[in-house]
Structure 1
Amino acid sequence: MNVETAIINAGGIPLMAKTGHSFMKRVLAAKPQCRMAAEMSGHIFLADRGWYGFDCSLYNAARIIECWSRRDSLEDDGPSFSSELERLAPSLPTSGEVKVPCAESDKLPFVAAITEAFSDYQCSTVDGVRVRFDVDGEYAGWYLARKSNTEEILVMRVEAKTEQALAQMMQIIEQRVSPILDISKLLNA
Structure 2
Amino acid sequence: IGAVDEAGRFIYPDRLIALLADDVVGTEEGKDLLIYDVKCSMNVEKAIVAAGGRPMMAKTGHSFMKRVLAEHSDALMAAEMSGHIFMADRGWYGFDCSLYNAARIIELWSRTNGLTFSEELNRLAPNLPTTGEVKVPCPEEKKLETVEAIRLAFEDYDSSTIDGVRVRFNNDSTGEQIGWYLARKSNTEPILVMRVEAVDEKVLKALLMMIQQRVSPIINIDKLLG
Determine if the TM-score, normalized by the shorter chain, exceeds 0.5. yes
Q: SS state of the match for residue 112, structure 1?
A: helix
Segments of 5+ residues of structure 1 without an aligned counterpart are: none
Change over 3 Å in CA distance of 1:72–1:102 after alignment to 2: closer
Deviations 1:75-109 (A, max 9, x none): xxx10222101111111110100011112221111
Partner Cα separation in structure 2 for residue 153 and residue 6 of structure 1: 31
Specify which of 43, 46, 64 is matched with residue 23 of structure 1.
64
Change over 3 Å in CA distance of 1:178–1:46 after alignment to 2: same
**How far apart are residue 10 of structure 1 and its match?**
1.1
Q: Which region of structure 1 is more displaced relative to structure 2, 117-126 or 130-139?
A: 130-139
**How far apart are residue 41 of structure 1 and its match?**
2.6
Partner Cα separation in structure 1 for residue 169 and residue 56 of structure 2: 19
Specify which of 22, 40, 47 is matched with residue 6 of structure 1.
47
Is residue 25–residue 52 contact of structure 1 (8 Å, CA) maintained in 2? Answer: no
Q: SS state of the match for residue 55, structure 2?
A: coil
**How far apart are residue 166 of structure 1 and its match?**
0.4
Specify which of 140, 147, 155 is matched with residue 111 of structure 1.
147
* Structure 2 residue aligned with 1:128: 164
**How far apart are residue 33 of structure 1 and its match?**
1.9
Partner Cα separation in structure 2 for residue 48 and residue 40 of structure 1: 20
Specify which of 137, 161, 171 is matched with residue 101 of structure 1.
137
* Structure 1 residue aligned with 2:25: none
**How far apart are residue 171 of structure 1 and its match?**
0.5
Partner Cα separation in structure 1 for residue 137 and residue 149 of structure 2: 16
**How far apart are residue 49 of structure 1 and its match?**
4.2
* Structure 2 residue aligned with 1:56: 97
Partner Cα separation in structure 1 for residue 54 and residue 93 of structure 2: 18
Deviations 1:4-62 (A, max 9, x none): 11111111111100000011101111112212222223332222344442222222112
Partner Cα separation in structure 2 for residue 39 and residue 60 of structure 1: 13
Partner Cα separation in structure 1 for residue 220 and residue 207 of structure 2: 17
Is residue 35–residue 47 contact of structure 1 (8 Å, CA) maintained in 2? Answer: yes
Instruction: Indicate yes or no: 2:198 matched with 1:157.
Output: no
**How far apart are residue 147 of structure 1 and its match?**
0.8
Segments of 5+ residues of structure 2 without an aligned counterpart are: 1-41
What CA RMSD, in Å, does the superposition of the two structures yield over aligned residues?
Answer: 1.6
* Structure 1 residue aligned with 2:23: none
Task: Count the aligned residue pairs.
Answer: 183
**How far apart are residue 72 of structure 1 and its match?**
6.9
Q: Which region of structure 1 is more displaced relative to structure 2, 23-32 or 164-173?
A: 23-32
